[in-house]
Amino acid sequence: MFSLPPLLPPARASAQPLPRALACLALIATGALVALAAWYPGQWQVLLLLLPAVWSRVRGRTSAFAIWIGYYLAGARDIPVVCMRFFSGYRELTQPEALVLGVAFWIAQACVLATPWALLKPDSDSSATRHALCATIATVLVTVPPLGIIGWLSPAYVASALFPGWKAPGLVLGMTATACAAAVSRARFAQRMATLLVILSLLARSVASAPVVPSRWTALDTRLGRFDQSSYASLYARTQQVQAIAQRAFSESATVVVLPEEIVGLWRPAMSYWWRDDIQAFATAKRTLIVGMDLTASVTPFRYSDSAVIVGADHGRLDSRQPVPAALWRPGAAVSAVRGSLTQPYVMVAGKSVAFSICYEDLLWWPHWRILLRSPDVLVSLSNGWFDSDLALAHIQRQGIAAIARLSGVPLLRAVNR
Q: Is the pLDDT of residue 365 over 50?
A: yes
116/264 same-domain check: no
Q: Is the residue at 172 inside a domain?
A: yes
| pLDDT tens-digit map of 17-39 | 778 889 999 999 999 999 999 99
Average pLDDT of the segment spanning 382-397 = 96
Average pLDDT of the segment spanning 159-184 = 97
Q: Is the residue at 2 inside a domain?
A: no
256 and 308 in contact (C-beta within 8 Å)?
no
Q: Is the residue at 90 inside a domain?
A: yes
Q: What integer best gives the mean pLDDT of the chain?
A: 94
Average pLDDT of the segment spanning 343-353 = 96
Q: How far apart are CA 357 and CA 343, in angstroms?
A: 14
Confidence band, pLDDT 50/70/90 cuts, at residue 16: low
Q: Is the pLDDT of residue 12 over 60?
A: no
Q: Hey, CA dihedral for 99, 146, 404, 317, is it positive or negative?
A: negative
Q: Is the pLDDT of residue 281 over 80?
A: yes
Q: Which residue among 173, 189, 207 closes a domain? A: 207
Q: Is the residue at 212 inside a domain?
A: no
pTM: 0.93
Report the run of H or E that residue 413 belongs to, with start and end: strand 412-417
**Count of domains for the chain:** 2
69/95 same-domain check: yes
Q: Is the residue at 1 inside a domain?
A: no
Q: Is the residue at 33 inside a domain?
A: yes
Q: Is the pLDDT of residue 151 over 80?
A: yes
Percent of the chain with pLDDT over 90: 93
pLDDT at res. 20: 85
Q: Is the residue at 382 inside a domain?
A: yes
Contacts 24+ apart (CB under 8 A), 155-160: 155/48, 155/51, 155/52, 156/365, 157/38, 157/45, 157/48, 157/365, 157/400, 157/403, 158/45, 158/46, 158/48, 158/49, 159/407, 160/45, 160/403, 160/404, 160/406, 160/407
311/177 same-domain check: no
Average pLDDT of the segment spanning 233-261 = 97
Q: Is the pLDDT of residue 7 over 70?
A: no
C-alpha 239, offset from chain centre: 29
The b-or-e profile of 30-64 (16+ CB within 10 A means b, else e) is bbbbbbbbbbbeeeebbbbbbbbbbbbebeeeebb
198/232 same-domain check: no
Range of the domain at 276: 217-417
Q: How far apart are CA 97 and CA 100, in angstroms?
A: 5
| pLDDT tens-digit map of 47-71 | 999 999 999 999 999 999 999 999 9
CATH code where residue 373 lies? 3.60.110.10
Q: Which residue among 144, 175, 207 closes a domain? A: 207
Average pLDDT of the segment spanning 223-237 = 95
Q: Which residue among 187, 207, 227 closes a domain? A: 207
257/122 same-domain check: no
Q: Is the residue at 53 inside a domain?
A: yes
